[in-house]
Structure 1
């Protein structure tokens, strides 16, 4: 029997922990249950479950639930108190067709690796801030809103989002547990038929009202009205202990790679620059789906495998560097 050395033991423990984390998120976390494991794989980024579970364990007790109490986050009160000022700047953007321009094929804002799948439902956005970077276009068009959120260090990301009448976003969860998601109603249908469901809890948007939730719980959206839904969406720092903050620092650095510009005056993250290059290939592969489904599935498998390999390499580096420093 070969002797077990320390690296082998550590790797084995990491593998076991990773499998346990994926199983926990799939079968036990929250109230929502996936119809099958394939659905979980497609909608919920299980590759990030091991790191996310470290953040879950480090999250402070008051924040360990799907929908959070706004009273526990008093720093956000100033946002809600100024909702009309924020609304006016968002409506000005809407009248200038700013939301439409960011989702047009070929535009800089179109290549959004994080939210790209939402475009097919008519969803659109305008970024204000993203993990250490404030958009120049936002400073020009929304100076009051930018100034307001810049006063709150817990706000890591910000954007306006627009959901058209009759649209929806199917059940999904966000990959990174580095933050919570804040929604502030600006111009909404004010109707129970325009809602978000977070872990089997339904909330209907209202003008001037806010919601804070953990976006790594499964959530889905529907606007079954004849009016648009316009909101301010913020990423708010997850309150955690020292271990969680250490891991979260790495996560936040990864988030910077997903920076998306609104126009040519804004910076672009590396992940979205790469996504812009491979998008023509992805579009051609979708056309291939209609003519040669077998080849399409092979190419899709290769692409997804490469993506997973890159993510695993990043995670391996996150684990390997501290290990080398300690041993």
Structure 2
């Protein structure tokens, strides 16, 4: 019998924020310095080419970490254990995350385990979050929408299953496939879903960065991001992650 998902209670201001989010997104779309579309060419954010140029460093550091502990989920709890808000789309524990930074909060223990990667992400302008997203064989993430159009999402392929066509992400009407050491860039406020229908684990280094905004859009973006970073959505996830980290013994 599947465990019942208990939705966390949220303060009135958070509930109102969710209701107002579509209006904020319209403003962010209007004042965006780049077009409002589901998928982008990576050239719109110049720093991505630097990440791709150093992809082998990131991949080798990840592989060394995995080999050292012989466990791909070391320090990588399931997303549903970290964030109650993700319980609906992370129905089981096959979607895991190894955080380096989340909403400006740095996970020092993990950064020390991957110092070269941590140094690279420190150079990314307007970085909000950076973590390794680990999708185990058979994992499915159902259709869902991101929190805000104020953020763009980038994935770097770190460990891509051999049968790439059976491991994909659908963004709006486009199906994308990960390629080793290459990035994809998209707006996660468009409906998207993910599936790994292979017998291998898929790992990407996921970045979330601020969308380039101008004028009033930048003001709305800053206010909305400030509210998110101070919200229970982020605070609970960070507290849960740190609690799990303290309990976990690397072996």
Same fold, judged at TM 0.5 (above): yes
Matched, 1:250 2:223: yes
Give the drift of 1:102: 3.8
Does the aligned pair in 1 maintain the 2:75–2:98 contact within 8 Å? no
Matched, 1:112 2:83: yes
CA distance, structure 2, for counterparts of residue 207 and residue 226 of structure 1: 17
Matches within 5 A, 1:41-60: 47-60=20-33
Give the drift of 1:198: 0.2
CA distance, structure 2, for counterparts of residue 255 and residue 90 of structure 1: 30
Q: Provide, for residues 147-185 of structure 1, a one-character-per-residue CA deviation record: whole Å limited to 9, x for no partner.
A: 001012232210001101111110001122221000010
Q: Provide, for residues 255-313 of structure 1, a one-character-per-residue CA deviation record: whole Å limited to 9, x for no partner.
A: 324699xxxxxxxx53447889xxxxxxxxxxxxxxxxxxxxxxxxxxxxxxxxxxxxx
Which structure 1 residue ranges, 5 or more long, are not aligned? 1-44, 261-268, 277-327
Does the aligned pair in 1 maintain the 2:169–2:177 contact within 8 Å? yes
Question: Structure 2 residue aligned with 1:66, among 15, 21, 38?
Answer: 38
RMSD (Å) for aligned C-alpha atoms: 2.6
Q: State the match for 2:199 in structure 1.
A: 226
Q: Which segment is superposed worse, 79-88 or 116-125?
A: 116-125
Matches within 5 A, 1:154-165: 154-165=126-137
CA distance, structure 2, for counterparts of residue 119 and residue 94 of structure 1: 25
Q: Which segment is superposed worse, 190-199 or 82-91?
A: 82-91
Matched, 1:179 2:151: yes
Give the drift of 1:52: 1.7
CA distance, structure 1, for counterparts of residue 186 and residue 85 of structure 2: 18
TM-score normalized by structure 1?
Answer: 0.61
Question: Structure 2 residue aligned with 1:151, among 116, 123, 148?
Answer: 123
Give the drift of 1:103: 2.5
Q: Provide, for residues 30-75 of structure 1, a one-character-per-residue CA deviation record: whole Å limited to 9, x for no partner.
A: xxxxxxxxxxxxxxx6652122221111112x33110011112112
Matches within 5 A, 1:1-327: 47-60=20-33, 62-95=34-67, 96=69, 97=71, 99=73, 101-103=75-77, 110-117=81-88, 118=90, 120=92, 122-190=94-162, 191-257=164-230, 269-272=234-237
CA distance, structure 1, for counterparts of residue 86 and residue 134 of structure 2: 13
Q: Report how many aligned residue pairs link the two structures.
A: 220
Say which structure, 1 or 2, has more relative contact order (CA 8 Å, 6+ apart): 2
Find the residue that maps to 2:199 and give its secondary structure.
coil
Computing the radius of gyration from Cα coordinates, the structure with the larger value is 1
Give the 3 Å change call, closer, same or farther, for CA 91–63 of structure 1 in structure 2: farther
Q: State the match for 2:249 in structure 1.
A: none
Does the aligned pair in 2 maintain the 1:130–1:256 contact within 8 Å? no
CA distance, structure 1, for counterparts of residue 128 and residue 21 of structure 2: 20
Give the 3 Å change call, closer, same or farther, for CA 84–183 of structure 1 in structure 2: same
Find the residue that maps to 2:165 and give its secondary structure.
coil
TM-score normalized by structure 2?
Answer: 0.78
CA distance, structure 2, for counterparts of residue 136 and residue 112 of structure 1: 19
